[in-house]
Amino acid sequence: MSDLETVIGLEVHAQLKTESKIFCACSTRFGDEPNTNTCPICTGMPGVLPVLNKRALEFAVKMALALDCRVNSRSIFARKNYFYPDLPKGYQMSQYESPLAEHGHITVMVRDVSRDIGITRIHMEEDAGKSIHSPSEGVSYVDLNRTGVPLLEIVSEPDMRSPQEASAYLKALRGILRYLEISDGNMEEGSFRCDANISLRRAGQSQLGTRTEIKNLNSFRHVEKALEYEIFRHSGLLQDKEAVIQETRLYDPDRAITVSMRGKEEAHDYRYFPDPDLVPVLVEEDWILRLKQELPELPTARFNRFIREYGLPAEDAQVLTSERELADFFEQCAGQYAHPKKISNWVMTEFLRELHQAGCSIRDAAIRPEHLSALVRMVDEQVISSRIAKNIFPEIFARGVDPAKLVREKELVQISDSGALEEMVDEVIRAYPEEAQKYRQGRKKLMSFFVGQVMKMSRGQANPGLVNQIFKDRLG
Ligand code: ADP
Ligand code: MG
Ligand code: ZN
């Protein structure tokens, strides 16, 4: 049914990259021995008092500012009561009625169309522990290292109209978190999680349809797939004049479907109430202004500047500004050799390929921006052919060696000496008389074959432009 409109709103949980937990001094380090990063506070012993981590608050305020939110000068932590073995206190401390920030928005691009998505609220809360089920032993283990790790919850307005918009929104949020260096934003590792709410309604109708909520989606692909499945399921129900039931569902990636987890009747009643152990969170205007001034240039602004300042196509600007480190690397290269599009071509292909293969971060890579810009310059100045440049690039990348030095070491300087090139051209013409004949008769496509032979003979060192010219002179 084409007259149905999809409505999506997302709740995102991002783990904040603080050294210590949100209400105690325990380390937030990932991967340590289970239950080693715990203390009486995060394990919920009686009589202890939590204290809010100022760094967590600072990160939360930065995100709120980056999303154009109004930061409330006073917000409150509440207790969200429920029982689960990985929640030792029997409640989670979270902001409920009075969140840290509200009324923001973010612009996302979906296939060249820019869309404005409202941010309802941003609040802080603590993470729960981790249950590890071992069916073979018939037991479950609980690891409390994650208990009390600071989370930011970001709730959107129901402003998205397609699964693609939802995933573009998530990527944009993650981009900002990473630019701000306040979260890893890693969905697979669980430091960036998403619950997706979706409903359908007749086009033109202002009232929202009944929604379902899909919990714990852990990849962008799963978000899109799960939402696509829900659109299919909802529209089938609506077409058959059956009701959509408001419920929580889970996505099963193996079957690419969602299944019911719990209905409205089983929905928790969390009995929220203000936490009596924590004072209200007061945020001063001066501090907000200072944090605002400290914000780095954010992905959208940088994207626009890359197009404006470097004259790059949108696709290049998109890729290059997707990560702050990558954008920095590009700008350092372009600063040393002012041919941004040429630099961009190298960064987006050879550089990113090596980086992915090495599986390391830009910071940890041996190559420096000056190496890449020097290489691009050497190709432009015809010191080496682009073939050779590509051949030696993996070594430059891995060793971080100056390309001029490597070219000297390996004696790879491009042959532009016409005498030497003419000799090679003549040799090729002698070796392929029939092809030469055909070329003269009009098979101009054979040119690339001839040039290829000389390139092979010269082990890639011949200047292909000159070789081409000499062939033309010789073969008429
Ligand atoms: P909770 O899920 O905790 O009850 P809310 O009711 O505030 O929280 O909604 C959570 C998310 O669901 C928000 O992102 C909101 O935009 C979205 N949402 C609410 N109603 C609908 C709806 N009918 N269709 C699609 N999304 C919705
Ligand atoms: Mg919800
Ligand atoms: Zn602790």
pLDDT in the model for residue 204: 87
Where is average pLDDT lowest: 45-54, 182-191, 404-413, 429-438?
404-413
Residue 412 pLDDT level (bands cut at 50, 70, 90): low
pLDDT in the model for residue 34: 95
Over residues 115-120, the mean pLDDT reads 97
The H helix count followed by the E strand count for the chain is 16, 16
Distance 410 CA to ligand 1 centre (A): 63
Residue 180 pLDDT level (bands cut at 50, 70, 90): very high
pLDDT in the model for residue 256: 92
pLDDT in the model for residue 56: 97
Q: What is the pLDDT of residues 36-90, one digit of tens each?
A: 999 999 999 999 999 999 999 999 999 999 999 999 999 999 999 999 999 999 9
Ligand 1: atom nearest CA of 210 is 23
**Helices marked H in 28-162:** 54-66
Residue 2 or residue 427, greater confidence: 427
Q: What is the pLDDT of residues 146-169, one digit of tens each?
A: 999 999 999 999 999 999 999 999
233 pLDDT above the threshold of 70? yes
Ligand 1: atom nearest CA of 155 is 14
DSSP string, 159-222: -B-SHHHHHHHHHHHHHHHHHTTS----TTTTSEEEEEEEEEEETT--S----EEEEEE-SHHH
Distance 270 CA to ligand 2 centre (A): 13
pLDDT in the model for residue 297: 96
Please say whether the beta carbons of 187 and 149 come within 8 A.
no
Q: Ligand 1 in contact with 208 (CB < 6 A)?
A: yes
Over residues 395-406, the mean pLDDT reads 90
pLDDT in the model for residue 2: 58
The CA-atom distances, in angstroms, between 133 and each of 130, 165, 191, 217, 419 are 10, 35, 20, 20, 75
pLDDT in the model for residue 457: 84
Residue 201 pLDDT level (bands cut at 50, 70, 90): very high
Over residues 342-346, the mean pLDDT reads 96
The gap between the terminal CA atoms of the chain, to the nearest Å, is: 65
Over residues 90-101, the mean pLDDT reads 95
pLDDT in the model for residue 265: 66
pLDDT in the model for residue 76: 96
Q: Ligand 1 in contact with 121 (CB < 6 A)?
A: no
Q: From atom 6 of ligand 1, which residue's Cα is the shortest distance away?
A: 197
* Residue among 101, 102, 152 at smallest CA distance from 126: 152
Ligand 1: atom nearest CA of 157 is 16
pTM of the model: 0.84
Over residues 252-258, the mean pLDDT reads 93
The rounded mean pLDDT for the chain is: 93
Residue 355 pLDDT level (bands cut at 50, 70, 90): very high
pLDDT in the model for residue 153: 98
Please identify every residue whose CB atom is under 5 Å from ligand 3, which is an ion: 24, 26, 39, 41-42
Q: Ligand 1 in contact with 267 (CB < 6 A)?
A: no
5 pLDDT above the threshold of 60? yes
Distance 216 CA to ligand 2 centre (A): 11
- In sequence order, the 6+-apart residues with CB closer than 8 A to the CB of 349 are none
Residue % of the chain over a pLDDT of 70 = 98
1 pLDDT above the threshold of 60? no
Structural domains present in the chain: 4-289 (no CATH), 297-409 (no CATH), 418-475 (1.10.10.410)
Give the residue, out of 211, 234, 247, with the most ligand 1 atoms within 8 A of its beta carbon, to mutate for a pocket test: 211
